[in-house]
Amino acid sequence: MADILSLFQILPNIFKFLSLEDRKNIRLTCYLWYDSCNCRNIIVGEKFVFRPGHDFFHKGSDMQYLGACIVRCTTLRSHFEFQGLSLHLLPSSVWEQCGDKMQSLFIHGCDVDDDTIASVIVYCPNLIHLRLQSQNYHAVKQVLSDLG
């Protein structure tokens, strides 16, 4: 039993030196390796990145589908990045159910509206970093003035 416990402590120290792609593959080996790869020390720097053309969107470019996948995710990271998506079509349930887990959010070139910005502000209380690069700054200014 002591050998298994020491192995469980050694694996995360080994896995933290692997690339994200390699960790994604070894997570499929067994439950012990999966748990070791999802150790807090390892995943603290990882982030979810969603953008058009990424492998995820070959299964369905529907923002409803993306929202459902984020909500169902059991290994949610605290760092998110959205690039070039119609973020205003993402269901509000994503912000309501997952917003408290988000610590950093980078929105680059996405279509956003007043409701999206308001949802981020209201449902992401633990957000430390918010970076918004969008062509639609009017929505952001209006929401911030409404909240202030």
Domain that holds residue 24: 1-45
Cβ(40)–Cβ(74) below 8 Å: no
Mean pLDDT of 128-140: 72
Instruction: Kindly state whether residues 62 and 123 are assigned to the same domain.
Output: yes
Task: Please report which confidence band the pLDDT of residue 137 belongs to, taking 50, 70 and 90 as the band edges.
Answer: low
3-state secondary structure of 101: helix
CA angle 129, 85, 108 (to 5 degrees): 35
Instruction: Kindly state whether residues 35 and 79 are assigned to the same domain.
Output: no
pLDDT of residue 96: 95
Instruction: Kindly state whether residues 22 and 51 are assigned to the same domain.
Output: no
Q: Return the higher-pLDDT residue of 26 and 128.
A: 128
Instruction: Kindly state whether residues 14 and 85 are assigned to the same domain.
Output: no
Instruction: Kindly state whether residues 17 and 72 are assigned to the same domain.
Output: no
Instruction: Kindly state whether residues 20 and 38 are assigned to the same domain.
Output: yes
Instruction: Kindly state whether residues 76 and 126 are assigned to the same domain.
Output: yes
pLDDT of residue 6: 55
pLDDT mean across residues, the chain: 78
Instruction: Kindly state whether residues 17 and 62 are assigned to the same domain.
Output: no
Mean pLDDT of 47-54: 78
Instruction: Kindly state whether residues 96 and 59 are assigned to the same domain.
Output: yes
- Structurally, how many domains does the chain consist of? 2
pLDDT digits (tens, 9 = 90+) for 74-111: 777 788 999 988 889 999 999 999 999 899 999 998 88
Q: Return the higher-pLDDT residue of 7 and 120.
A: 120
Q: What are phi and psi of 95, to 5 degrees?
A: -70, -40
Instruction: Kindly state whether residues 97 and 41 are assigned to the same domain.
Output: no
Instruction: Kindly state whether residues 30 and 89 are assigned to the same domain.
Output: no
Cβ(99)–Cβ(72) below 8 Å: no
pLDDT of residue 55: 53
What is the percent of the chain where pLDDT is above 70?
A: 76
Q: Return the higher-pLDDT residue of 43 and 148.
A: 43
Instruction: Kindly state whether residues 148 and 91 are assigned to the same domain.
Output: yes
Q: Give pTM, 2 decimals.
A: 0.68
Write the DSSP assignment of 129-140 as a string of letters: EEEEE-S-HHHH
Strands 79-83 and 48-50 come out as parallel
Write the DSSP assignment of 55-97 as a string of letters: GGGGS---HHHHHHHHHH-SS--SEEEEES--GGGS-HHHHHH
